[in-house]
Amino acid sequence: MARHGGGRGWYGKVVGAALGVTMLAVGASVWTAQADSVGVGATPGPSASATPGNDTKPVDAGIVHASDAGPRGVNITIDDGPDPAWTPQVLDLLEEYGAKATFCMTGVQAEAHPDLVKDVVAAGHRLCDHSVSHDTAMDKKSEAYQSKEILDAERMITEASGGVRPMYYRAPGGAFTPYSRRLAASHGMRPLGWNVDTKDFERPGTEAIVTTVQRELANGPTILFHDAGGDRTQTVEALRQVLPWLKEQGHTFGFPVR
């Protein structure tokens, strides 16, 4: 499975700048990425206000990074699964620390492991469409191809979950296009970016993954991990340290703004 490209973490700043948002300097530890929620609508509110995964209303096509859990909220995002070796371990840790996460699944993996998709939903986590086949060059291909990758995955994930729809779309490797963002948004899937790429996919060592989170969290609240695509022992061990650390720092776990 293709690796995620580096250097995507600046999305948040670029998007914020493009929106012309004035960021408030309220202390170095408080994120300004909340600005991403501009334009979402008048009723962002807590996630409980809508039935997760049953809402097909069009959403904003801008790439979101902000958390619905307030200024100390973080969004744990888990990509490329589900995988029977790793997803259950990740789910156990999330439960242990009372954390909710967003799982960006490929259509292929969801179709192969529908029980895991249902486990994710039953635990209160959210689903995200991560394309059918994880083609990180899909932004260079036709709109017909992009549409098939996104909408087939939407269908495969929804069938695997037993009817709960993905609420976000994250392009593999961040290979969004204006077309793919609009298409996903028109199906109720908010384009989802990230602020902290833990680089866990490259297996840099557990400590390196933990340190990356601690160092880069000031960039914004959405953190990228993986639960498939190879040996994810380091990811699991890193989460075992990162989740309690986040709680000690006063963070709360939320979902990306929709």
- Please identify which of the residues 36, 60, 68, 79 carries the catalytic annotation: 79
Q: Of 79 and 135, which CB lies nearer to Zn ion in the complex structure? A: 79
Active site residue 79: yes
Q: Which is nearer to Zn ion, 61 or 105 (CB)?
A: 105
CB of 172 or CB of 188, closer to Zn ion: 172
Give the tokens for residue 127: 């689903």
Name the residues that contact Zn ion, by CB under 5 A.
Answer: 79-80, 172
226 is an active site residue:
yes
Cβ nearer to Zn ion, comparing 36 with 200: 200
CB of 175 to Zn ion, least distance (A): 10
Q: Nearest distance from residue 98's CB to Zn ion, in Å?
A: 26
Pairs from 41-49 (Cβ < 8 Å, separation ≥ 24): 44/68, 44/257, 44/258, 47/254, 47/255, 47/258
For the bound state, the minimum distance from the C-beta of residue 173 to Zn ion, rounded and expressed in Å, comes to 7
By Cβ distance, which residue is nearest to Zn ion? 79
Residue 10: CB atoms within 10 A of its CB come to 12
Cα 67 from chain centre: 11
Q: How far is the CB of 187 from Zn ion (least distance, A)?
A: 19
Structure-token pair, residue 5: 């490209």
> What element of type H or E holds 120?
helix 114-122
Residue numbers annotated as active site:
79, 226
